[in-house]
Structure 1
Amino acid sequence: MLMAASAPPLLTELAILLVAGTLIAFLSSRFGVLPIVGFLIAGVVIGPGGVGLIGDIDLVDQSADIGVMLLLFTLGIEFSLDRVRRLASLFLGGGAIQVVLTTGIVTAIVAAFGVDWRTSIFTGLLVSLSSTAIVLKVLAERRATTSPMGNMSVALLIFQDLAIVAMVLFVPLLSRQTTGLADVGVALAKAVGIIVAVVFVARTLVPAILRLLARHQSTEVFLLTILAICFGTAYVTSLLDVSISLGAFLAGLMVSESRVAARALGEVMPLQILFSATFFVSIGMLVDARFLASNLPLVIGLALGVVAVKLFATAVAGVLLRQPRAVVVSSAMVLAQIGEFSFVLERAGEEVGLMPAGLQDGTDAFISVAVLLMALGPYSVRFGESLAARFETGDSDDWRDRPLDRSALEPDPGEHEPLRDHAVVNGFGPRARRIVAALELANVPHTVVSMDPAAQQWAAATGRTVVAGDVSRQFIADRAGLRDARVALAVDSPPFAVEQFARVAREHNPEIAVLAWAADSADAADLERDGLVDHVVAERQAALDALIAHALGHFEVPEPDSEAVTHAVLHDDDSEDDRPSP
């Protein structure tokens, strides 16, 4: 029976999508093309407008929706309520200016060609939205999400994602449908009510639940709880006729208020990568390759027009809010494309008889322009950064350097400059605490990585920073700076955990020195046998003494200073428990 059973439709479609998408993305990367662009190209090739490998696009679209949800969920975790509050002037003022101005300019241009004013406004709304998925992906890869340019870009994107709720409700009005302004007001009131409820829950219930789960240190239960918060909140918002994407973003904000936000982000990131790839491939599948080939001059012309309008509108928003020239230029380039939520709005317009620009092939033209600009999006970010660097050197102390809300442009207080040539201490047991104390006394830069809630409490009480999560997760390893570290220490873990940590450290940084503690000489010999660990100690007092000396020696701390630090840290060592912690 098992041999005769056929594969479920979703498995078939996803298997084709992932295999073809991975192969084409790999080939694209060999020619220097960014992965996002490769996924879009893969969608064009395997979609109905290409060779037609995918038959049921609806199933793929459902997976793509999950990708958008997880993308906005991770954005919410990284943002936090405090950061949203600091960016209020940017996303309310700047977002409104950018959306209204873009919509107005496009409406005027389309109407000038004799198109009905309702269709013209609809087209303007489509163009006003930028790609949250593209921008966040590129900013995250360049570690620029919390930079001044990232702050302004993401603030405007948040406004656009909120505005899509009103836009979808407004579209039937343009086609003389029955929806009235009262319905729009009710929907907006629902959205406000949901936001208020989320703020309350985020400040009270969610942090307590996550702290309780973190004490048990069960990765499976923790991940399921995080996903339950994401999908549960999105489902509740959908019941209230509010965007599931907005619900996912609000769920992320709830998690961001917990001390284990970084760990949550690390756990969710692999799923986000998987479903985000599905999303980009699904967008590419919408393109009709034959239409694009036969109307290439028209598509390029429309794309250039869209870029010009969005550059102007975003720049005006930045100037009116008195942002630095470098931030204005780079943000304008980042947002100069059409977003994924424009496809949602386009489908809503199609249901009531509205076509982009009133063209007979308006939908195909719109999709082709949008995907073309999405494919160029990652390169526009790079170009924007280079332009910003030129403007930055020419900025003087004038109004451009005095934004209305300077705090909105400053990096998130929770973010720190990445360390280099530092020590990474994995875990926070009794020996790790002494290692950290020794590193602090010797002024050696270091990072602590731990899933232990006690480490988070210690960090909060003392003003220090602990990266909460499993260092085997790529995101957590990046936060800890393993790639640029000089020494990695695992001193409170059983042998199998030490070996896993050593492998992760070597994968990120082959030159790193790995130091460890073992319960006995047999375990120490096993760890050193394969060369994963450079030095293992396996005694009590003498072991920790030697381990501190080895660690400080890698940072060229003079021997007299090293001895003084060791004595200061270990003078009461006998009172501590030396048992390995989980």
Structure 2
Amino acid sequence: MTGLLLDAFIYLAAAVVAVPLTKRLGLGSVLGYLLAGVIIGPVLGLVGSEESTTIQHYAEFGVVMMLFLVGLELEPAMLWRMRTRLLGLGGLQVSLTAALFTLVAWWFGTDWRSAIAIGLLLSLSSTAIVLQTFQEKGLSGSEGGRSAFSVLLFQDIAVIPMLALIPLLAIPELGSGQLSAAGAADHHDLSLVAGLSGWSYALVIVGAVGGVIVGGHFCSRPLFQAVASTGLREAFTAAALLLIIGIALLMSLVGLSPALGTFLAGVVLANSEFRHELETDIEPFKGLLLGLFFITVGAAVQFSILIEHAGLIIGLTIAVIVGKALLLYGLALLFRVRRADGWLFTLSLAQAGEFGFVLISYATQNRVLPDSLTSVLSLVVALSMFCTPLLFIAFDRLVTPRYAGNDAQAPPDSIDKHGTVIIAGSGRFGQIVNRMLRGAGIDTVVIDRTAQQIENMRAVDIRSYFGDATRPALLHAAGIEQALLFVIAIDDVDQATGLARHLRSSHPNLKILARAFDRGHFYTLKEAGVDWVVIETYHSALETGKQALTSLGIGSEQAADLASAFHDAEVRGRDILYEQWREKSEGERYGHGFRSLYIELEEALRELMQEEKENDNPQTSGNNAQD
């Protein structure tokens, strides 16, 4: 027990010291965790490589939790919209990269079966490092960030066929000793697929994946409702962990990736009313375990082997990064990911990934990789992951200034004054709201991502700040805790909805007003918890319709009454349609039933307005009666 507490103290102390330091230097938290691991491991010898490897198995659960949270952000419709980049960009990246490194390894005399395994494991990138860095730097919503995420998602899925292929590449010449030794530690592992035939194994996999999807859709909601009814926060947290651990266990028992299973569960629960509560409860565990995972990567670096083969290992690491970068940049051009986004896509994925360690171990157990290659490959994967934060720094320092017109990458302003109202977006909509509030003597803080727009507003003495309003740190600096109202006037639909969900989850007492672009956006914002939603063109179109009636000879008073009747009917119909929309699944929300209800409401609207017109025109009503 004392030894365990001592190890925990050492890991936590290293993280507490190193991470704030690297963050203050602008190097990011990931590099801080990696350096902390190197210091307590190879440098000071406070923890051994075997201890780090053991802890790493538990810390990898942070990757599982991260993919669960990623899945919660993705609705099935969004995955369908990503299909081109998911299959096209992701598929080409994995296949071309694997082919390249397979040919290079074979060219240098490696057995073709080992060469294939090397190509497969080097085709993967680090989901943990890349997504964590994207989140810290606010790059997830950029074109380059979305493209990189599509590739990472495809890579995680591709691990499954890779694990199925590797046993078929066994090299008899390696002997059975390696297999026995490698598998000795794992002979107690449970498995539901050991000894099954190919078709039986396929059926078990299909059943497991189907069970996750069906169970997540039909069983999770009653479970969380029952737990939530107790009013115990810790019980809900326990239920969330139970769900994730149970799915990870199921995937492990059938030989699949636990991360993939929890990702699927996250996607299934993306439309659940418990989604935000799940995110809030899981986030601290994910962050802590991911940080521990990065520390173990640094602590497990074997400096003796690195020093002995320094030239070879460093050369191979550089070759991997450069080779992947060249392929990635070519794919970025092919898929029209241009300028700074293309470089972000290229540099963020140029490393090997954490699943590379899994494939190295699995390939060694199955007599595909000899021990002499295993240690070298492990160091190449680890060093390439070490270089990833440096590549992001190069992007910030070298690429971003070159594309200075890309305002989204500029550093945010320091916000030194707070206001009663925070307005995200200073376009035509946000400006009008801000002018009205200022005219009434209400202090506002305006945040926008367009630097030129901010300069224009400052020129007329309007307090405005440059920055990404979707970043929690910037909201804190803007005084979100003291604000009474938040106005969302962002031009990006997904960012506006995501910001609304974050505000409702993190600041439940804050009043939120948002601009919607259309009826569908109206529904998603209402579902996200926005208090008041205004469709951008609604009131201007209503005024235009009233003027159109007047221009056709209808009196201005009657036109105003007709417009009022239309507005009342539209509000009632909108509420009915919204409730219908909420009850439908993702695929049915704009299906035949919804369209039929919409047509019925439109017909009722026409009848109501016709009745209002006849009531306001007694002569027409009398003529109709005589007829």
From the superposition, tell whether residues 48 and 188 of structure 1 become closer, same or farther in structure 2 (CA, over 3 Å): farther
Report % sequence identity: 28
RMSD over aligned CA atoms reads 4.0
Instruction: Name the counterpart of 1:225.
Output: 239
Instruction: Name the counterpart of 2:190.
Output: none
**Does structure 1 residue 14 correspond to structure 2 residue 28?**
no
C-alpha distance after superposition, 1:434-467 (max 9, x if no partner): xxxx99x9999899xxxxxxxxxxxxxxxxxxxx
Unmatched tracts of structure 1, length 5 or more: 1-5, 395-419, 426-437, 448-474, 492-514, 517-582
Give 1:233 deviation, angstroms: 1.5
Give 1:30 deviation, angstroms: 6.0
TM-score where L is the length of structure 2: 0.59
From the superposition, tell whether residues 50 and 295 of structure 1 become closer, same or farther in structure 2 (CA, over 3 Å): farther
Instruction: Name the counterpart of 1:206.
Output: 220
Instruction: Name the counterpart of 2:389.
Output: 378
C-alpha distance after superposition, 1:29-68 (max 9, x if no partner): 5655432112212222333686153463454123212222
Alpha-carbon separation, structure 2, partners of 1:327 and 1:389: 13
1:353 partner letter:
R
Give 1:291 deviation, angstroms: 2.4
1:60 to 46, 51, 55: 55
Give 1:234 deviation, angstroms: 1.4
Alpha-carbon separation, structure 1, partners of 2:364 and 2:131: 28
1:335-354 paired onto structure 2 within 5 Å:
335-354=349-368
C-alpha distance after superposition, 1:230-256 (max 9, x if no partner): 112112222222111212222322332
From the superposition, tell whether residues 52 and 104 of structure 1 become closer, same or farther in structure 2 (CA, over 3 Å): same
C-alpha distance after superposition, 1:401-451 (max 9, x if no partner): xxxxxxxxxxxxxxxxxxx967379xxxxxxxxxxxx99x9999899xxxx
C-alpha distance after superposition, 1:470-492 (max 9, x if no partner): xxxxx99929933324673579x
**Does structure 1 residue 299 correspond to structure 2 residue 313?**
yes
1:423 to 393, 399, 421: 421
Instruction: Name the counterpart of 2:254.
Output: 240
Question: Is this contact kept in 2: 1:325–1:388, CA < 8 A?
Answer: no
Give 1:341 deviation, angstroms: 0.3
**Does structure 1 residue 273 correspond to structure 2 residue 267?**
no
Give 1:392 deviation, angstroms: 9.4
1:44 to 25, 38, 41: 38
Give 1:120 deviation, angstroms: 1.1
Question: Is this contact kept in 2: 1:49–1:288, CA < 8 A?
Answer: no
Give 1:340 deviation, angstroms: 0.2
Q: Which one is further off, 378-387 or 162-171?
A: 378-387
SS in 1 for 2:321: helix
Alpha-carbon separation, structure 1, partners of 2:214 and 2:68: 18
Question: Is this contact kept in 2: 1:330–1:388, CA < 8 A?
Answer: no
Question: Is this contact kept in 2: 1:424–1:480, CA < 8 A?
Answer: no
Give 1:332 deviation, angstroms: 1.4
1:16 partner letter:
I
Question: Is this contact kept in 2: 1:45–1:285, CA < 8 A?
Answer: yes
The count of aligned residue pairs is: 419
1:112 partner letter:
W
From the superposition, tell whether residues 325 and 212 of structure 1 become closer, same or farther in structure 2 (CA, over 3 Å): farther
1:69-218 paired onto structure 2 within 5 Å:
69-176=64-171, 190-207=204-221, 209-210=223-224, 218=232
Alpha-carbon separation, structure 2, partners of 1:479 and 1:202: 33
1:387 to 385, 399, 407: 399
1:158 partner letter:
L
1:261 to 275, 290, 296: 275
Alpha-carbon separation, structure 1, partners of 2:301 and 2:351: 16
SS in 1 for 2:482: strand
Instruction: Name the counterpart of 1:500.
Output: none
2:376 partner letter:
A
Alpha-carbon separation, structure 2, partners of 1:382 and 1:28: 12
1:85 partner letter:
W
Alpha-carbon separation, structure 2, partners of 1:293 and 1:30: 31
C-alpha distance after superposition, 1:329-372 (max 9, x if no partner): 321111000100000000011113333xx7x7433332322222
TM-score where L is the length of structure 1: 0.63
1:173 partner letter:
L
Instruction: Name the counterpart of 2:545.
Output: none
1:359-370 paired onto structure 2 within 5 Å:
361-370=372-381
From the superposition, tell whether residues 27 and 184 of structure 1 become closer, same or farther in structure 2 (CA, over 3 Å): farther
Alpha-carbon separation, structure 2, partners of 1:335 and 1:264: 29
C-alpha distance after superposition, 1:106-156 (max 9, x if no partner): 111111112211111111112101000000100111122233222111111
SS in 2 for 1:56: helix
Question: Is this contact kept in 2: 1:21–1:38, CA < 8 A?
Answer: yes
1:483 partner letter:
A
Question: Is this contact kept in 2: 1:49–1:286, CA < 8 A?
Answer: no
Question: Is this contact kept in 2: 1:130–1:157, CA < 8 A?
Answer: yes
From the superposition, tell whether residues 27 and 244 of structure 1 become closer, same or farther in structure 2 (CA, over 3 Å): same
Q: Which one is further off, 330-339 or 309-318?
A: 309-318
Give 1:384 deviation, angstroms: 3.9
From the superposition, tell whether residues 353 and 99 of structure 1 become closer, same or farther in structure 2 (CA, over 3 Å): same
From the superposition, tell whether residues 35 and 186 of structure 1 become closer, same or farther in structure 2 (CA, over 3 Å): farther
2:289 partner letter:
F
Alpha-carbon separation, structure 2, partners of 1:16 and 1:383: 31
SS in 2 for 1:315: helix
SS in 1 for 2:73: helix
Alpha-carbon separation, structure 1, partners of 2:403 and 2:299: 39
Alpha-carbon separation, structure 1, partners of 2:298 and 2:71: 26
Give 1:95 deviation, angstroms: 1.4
Question: Is this contact kept in 2: 1:329–1:387, CA < 8 A?
Answer: yes
Give 1:186 deviation, angstroms: 6.0
Alpha-carbon separation, structure 2, partners of 1:393 and 1:489: 32
Unmatched tracts of structure 2, length 5 or more: 173-178, 180-192, 407-417, 424-435, 447-468, 486-508, 511-627
SS in 1 for 2:109: coil
From the superposition, tell whether residues 159 and 486 of structure 1 become closer, same or farther in structure 2 (CA, over 3 Å): closer
From the superposition, tell whether residues 422 and 124 of structure 1 become closer, same or farther in structure 2 (CA, over 3 Å): farther
From the superposition, tell whether residues 260 and 424 of structure 1 become closer, same or farther in structure 2 (CA, over 3 Å): farther
Alpha-carbon separation, structure 2, partners of 1:374 and 1:237: 26
Q: Which one is further off, 52-61 or 149-158?
A: 52-61
1:287 to 282, 291, 301: 301
Alpha-carbon separation, structure 1, partners of 2:335 and 2:236: 41
